[in-house]
């Protein structure tokens, strides 16, 4: 089966209403070009480093502006619309970095809360502590859709191959990786990680990204892309500004790739033995 997929690239600001308008414009453009699955980036609703301002604008899922707009768009355009993520208020006062998938009837199919928190200290003083504001998810999501089985990941999740392998082993044919990669980490690792996850699991990877210098001062890498199960980049965007990348997804390529290199079947259990140094400093036999 073949379908047309689109990854929406954005440069989200701090105002959810403005971001919702940008999302709607780009999703409509993608649908007009024939896309029936459209994915937006991580933090579609807002990128806001001021936590007080972020919490002031926070809403629960039932009253969130992005959620409502996406549901309406999906139903109107008769597409599967995947909001990569947006910040959702939780009862404990923290937030979820939550993605939403809507069907062509406008109804929510599922949501996914980002599991792995971006708690890192990079060069040049760049430091992030996502866990200080967000509650990590605990459940991976694999969704059976008319065009294939879709697995869910968000941004930093891409550095944890076990998440992708578990979903591939359960039948995932496509992985969604919406993101807001920093420029520093994106330049070093973005494409390499995405292509590796596609190759080692024989699956399509669709990655909608944030791109450019944002209103809150951060800079994200962009380069939204769609990758096939052989690791080939089918479509990609630039590193700045909003845009759309679209590719035809032939789901039969998943079985073809896994048939050539059946590593999902060929994996074997093993034990890890640590060999200590001998008294002389040589490795013991």
State the catalytic residues: 42, 114, 155
Closest-CA residue to 164 (of 185, 122, 193, 133): 193
Residue 41 three-state SS: coil
Residue 81 three-state SS: strand
Evaluated on CA atoms 153, 158, 162, 166, the torsion sign reads positive
Q: Give the dihedral of Cα atoms 123, 209, 83, 2; nearest 10 deg.
A: -140
């Amino acid at each position: 089966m073949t379908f047309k997929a689109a990854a929406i690239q954005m440069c989200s600001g701090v105002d959810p209403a403005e971001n919702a308008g940008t999302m709607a414009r780009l999703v409509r453009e993608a649908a007009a070009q024939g896309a029936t699955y459209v994915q937006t980036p991580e933090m579609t609703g807002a990128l806001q480093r001021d936590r007080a301002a972020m919490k002031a604008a926070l809403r629960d899922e039932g009253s969130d502006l992005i959620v409502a707009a996406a549901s309406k768009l999906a139903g109107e355009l008769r597409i599967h619309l995947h909001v990569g993520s947006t910040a959702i208020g939780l009862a404990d006062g923290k937030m979820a970095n939550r993605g939403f998938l809507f069907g062509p009837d406008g109804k929510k199919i599922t949501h996914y809360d980002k599991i792995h928190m971006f708690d890192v200290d990079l060069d040049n003083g760049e430091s992030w502590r996502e866990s200080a504001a967000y509650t990590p998810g605990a459940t991976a999501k694999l969704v059976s859709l008319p065009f294939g089985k879709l697995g869910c990941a968000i941004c930093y999740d891409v550095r944890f191959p076990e998440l992708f392998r578990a979903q591939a082993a359960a039948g995932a044919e496509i992985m969604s990786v919406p993101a807001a990669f920093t420029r520093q980490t994106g330049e070093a690792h973005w494409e390499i990680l995405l292509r590796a996850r596609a190759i080692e699991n024989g699956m399509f990877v669709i990655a909608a990204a944030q791109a450019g210098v944002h209103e809150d001062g951060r800079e994200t890498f962009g380069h939204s892309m769609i990758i096939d199960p052989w690791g080939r980049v089918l479509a990609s965007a630039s590193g700045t500004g909003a845009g759309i990348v679209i590719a035809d997804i032939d789901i039969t390529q998943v079985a073809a790739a896994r048939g050539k290199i059946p590593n999902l079947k060929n994996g074997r259990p093993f034990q890890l033995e640590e060999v200590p140094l001998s008294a002389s400093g040589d490795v013991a036999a």
